[in-house]
């Protein structure tokens, strides 16, 4: 077997990180505080208590660099973690590039994506504080299946508002969520005031993440026994994802390599933050010199074309105001197949590191993303989630640039999930039914005109 090329850089179960990494104390400037939607004053911990357990609220504002991962959560992580770091040797050969390409593969989680990394601790902390019911929303269905699975593991019950378009297009995701014992309702629904208000105006509404969030928050706010869980955007969610980057740092060192560029796709920003924050922590200390690139869809370009402003996280304006790159909370993104990237805003933390110049942002069109995903699948044998195709497209672009320039380059990207439940989008792509969407300038201008006035 001498001379075999290494493909996987695996860590033993004992190397699952002991703590999540919080970048806040290492940043040169603090984050702008979230504001109460009524008073416009900075939010206190008690304002969030109707929705979240206190342990997660404290993580949301923590300035501790390391936050210990509870032993039972690490034990559940061991079901699929540490996830593999894979050298894409066959893709490198197919591209005839001198670049070395590595990907961290989060599709090995039983829910099929990185989302389980936060679903498990969120369910666990809720359980510790005696909560028995969680409500949430899901766009493409990945977050709904992750939270449903975590709730099944920990004995909680789970109610999921699923964006109407996905509910209709993705019956298998819905079936998976139900198999884990959660209930699924198409959003907008008649169960909530926010849902009914949308349906009164738009009876055929296909829904959006912003609308589904309003419904799930409303249910939790009105029922003292129910808490709310969010799959992205918030600091504590991004924090839980940092197991990805911490493992990747160890694995790149096993490979004897250092990344020159680190890439992730961004919807709400959690898988991207999970991979890159531990590297950014090193970058701030001068121990990492990589370019860090966030990739978003051209149809929903919050980082590259949105405004940095206080905005609501949802369409019904029930959530606190957070300062982020936003396209306006009433913007309903075009129906691209990367459902997990169809969100009007961006994590405040990811928005902040872009503003600080630590991260660059770029965008990819839908057809280019799918072309990259197919090329990747034929070389590496993994069918990627449509969201992850955006990261792959940028990785391939970088590898071809290295080839054109005749230099070597080490590329690391996050393969945030597999696409086994998204095959309809691949069928549509192969049949030539998908289209590119240009930046919907007028619609976004209209949505931005409605930004809340914050002094």
In degrees to the nearest 10, what's the CA dihedral of 393, 144, 222, 452? Answer: 10
Cα–Cα distance for residue pair 42/30, rounded to 1 Å: 14
Distance of CA 85 to the CA centre of its chain: 19
Pattern 269-288, binding to ligand PLP, x per CB under 6 A? xxxx----------------
Q: What beta strand segments (E) does 188-269 contain?
A: 226-228, 261-265
As a residue count, the chain comes to 455
Smallest separation, CB 344 to ligand PLP (Å) = 13
Q: Closer CB to ligand PLP, residue 97 or residue 208?
A: 208
Smallest separation, CB 267 to ligand PLP (Å) = 3
Smallest separation, CB 406 to ligand PLP (Å) = 33
In degrees to the nearest 10, what's the CA dihedral of 19, 341, 101, 253? Answer: -10
Q: Which of 97, 109, 113, 192 binds ligand PLP (CB under 6 A)?
A: 113
Give the β-pairing of 321-326 and 360-364: unpaired
| Token couple for 120 | 């498990």
Smallest separation, CB 240 to ligand PLP (Å) = 11
| Binding to ligand PLP, residues 397-416 (CB under 6 A) | 416
Residue among 410, 188, 168, 448 nearest 305 (CA): 448
- State the CB neighbour count (10 A cutoff) for residue 439: 16
Pattern 374-393, binding to ligand PLP, x per CB under 6 A? -----------x-xx-----
Cα–Cα distance for residue pair 397/402, rounded to 1 Å: 9
In degrees to the nearest 10, what's the CA dihedral of 340, 343, 347, 351? Answer: 120
- The answer to whether residue 142 forms part of the interface with ligand PLP (CB under 6 A) is yes
- The answer to whether residue 208 forms part of the interface with ligand PLP (CB under 6 A) is no
- The answer to whether residue 185 forms part of the interface with ligand PLP (CB under 6 A) is no
The residue number whose beta carbon is nearest to ligand PLP equals 417
Pattern 64-103, binding to ligand PLP, x per CB under 6 A? ----------------------------------------
- The answer to whether residue 417 forms part of the interface with ligand PLP (CB under 6 A) is yes
Q: Which of 150, 229, 265, 300 binds ligand PLP (CB under 6 A)?
A: 265
Site stretch for ligand PLP (CB under 6 A), options 81-89, 91-99, 199-207, 259-267: 259-267
- The answer to whether residue 363 forms part of the interface with ligand PLP (CB under 6 A) is no
Q: Closer CB to ligand PLP, residue 104 or residue 115?
A: 115
| Binding to ligand PLP, residues 315-344 (CB under 6 A) | 340-341
Residue 451 in contact with residue 328, Cβ under 8 Å?
yes
Total site size for ligand PLP, rule CB under 6 A: 20
- The answer to whether residue 259 forms part of the interface with ligand PLP (CB under 6 A) is no
Cis peptide before 188 (omega within 30 of 0): yes
- The answer to whether residue 313 forms part of the interface with ligand PLP (CB under 6 A) is no
- The answer to whether residue 115 forms part of the interface with ligand PLP (CB under 6 A) is yes
Residues in Cβ contact with 337 at an 8 Å cutoff, skipping those fewer than 6 apart:
366, 370, 386, 422, 425, 428, 429, 434
Q: Which of 267, 278, 297, 373 binds ligand PLP (CB under 6 A)?
A: 267
Residue among 56, 101, 116, 105 nearest 270 (CA): 116
Smallest separation, CB 141 to ligand PLP (Å) = 8
Cα–Cα distance for residue pair 281/339, rounded to 1 Å: 30
**Contacts to ligand PLP by CB under 6 A:** 113, 115, 142-143, 232, 265-272, 340-341, 385, 387-388, 416-417
């Amino acid at each position: 077997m001498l001379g075999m090329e290494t493909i996987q850089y695996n860590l033993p179960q004992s190397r699952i990180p002991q703590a999540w990494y919080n970048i806040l104390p290492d940043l040169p400037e603090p984050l702008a505080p979230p504001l109460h939607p009524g008073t416009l004053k900075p939010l206190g911990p008690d304002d969030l208590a109707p929705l979240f357990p206190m342990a997660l609220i404290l993580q949301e504002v923590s300035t501790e660099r390391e936050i210990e991962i509870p032993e039972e959560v690490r034990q559940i992580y061991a079901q699929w973690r540490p996830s593999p770091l894979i050298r894409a040797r066959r893709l490198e050969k197919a591209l005839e590039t001198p670049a070395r390409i590595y990907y961290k593969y989060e599709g090995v989680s039983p829910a099929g994506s990185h989302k389980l990394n936060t679903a498990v601790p969120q369910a666990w902390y809720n359980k510790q504080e005696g909560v028995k019911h969680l409500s949430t929303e899901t766009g493409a269905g990945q977050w709904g299946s992750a939270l449903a699975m975590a709730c099944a593991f920990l004995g909680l019950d789970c109610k999921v508002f699923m964006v109407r378009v996905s509910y209709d297009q993705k019956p298998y995701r819905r079936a998976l969520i139900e198999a884990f014992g959660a209930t699924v309702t198409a959003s907008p629904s008649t169960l909530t005031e926010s849902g009914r208000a949308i349906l009164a105006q738009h009876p055929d509404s296909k829904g959006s993440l912003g609308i589904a969030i309003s419904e799930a928050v409303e249910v939790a706010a009105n029922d003292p026994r129910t808490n709310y869980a969010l799959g992205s955007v918030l600091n504590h969610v991004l924090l839980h994802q940092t197991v990805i980057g911490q493992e990747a740092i160890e694995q790149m060192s096993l490979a004897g390599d250092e990344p020159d560029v680190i890439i992730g796709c961004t919807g709400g920003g959690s898988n991207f933050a999970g991979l890159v924050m531990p590297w950014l922590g090193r970058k701030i200390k001068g121990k990492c010199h990589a370019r860090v690139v966030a990739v978003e869809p051209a149809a929903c370009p919050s980082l590259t074309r949105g405004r940095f402003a206080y905005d609501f996280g949802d369409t019904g304006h029930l959530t606190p105001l957070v300062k982020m790159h936003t396209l306006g909370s009433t913007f309903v993104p075009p129906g691209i197949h990367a459902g997990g990237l169809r969100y009007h805003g961006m994590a405040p933390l990811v928005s902040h590191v872009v503003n600080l110049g630590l991260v660059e942002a770029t965008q990819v069109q839908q057809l280019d993303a799918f072309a990259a995903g197919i090329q990747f699948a034929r070389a590496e044998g993994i069918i990627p989630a449509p969201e992850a195709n955006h990261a792959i497209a940028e990785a391939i672009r970088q590898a071809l640039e290295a080839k054109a320039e005749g230099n070597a380059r080490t590329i690391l990207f996050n393969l945030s999930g597999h696409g086994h439940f998204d095959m309809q989008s691949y069928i549509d792509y192969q049949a030539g039914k998908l289209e590119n969407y240009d930046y919907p300038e007028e619609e976004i201008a209209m949505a931005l005109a409605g930004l809340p006035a914050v002094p």
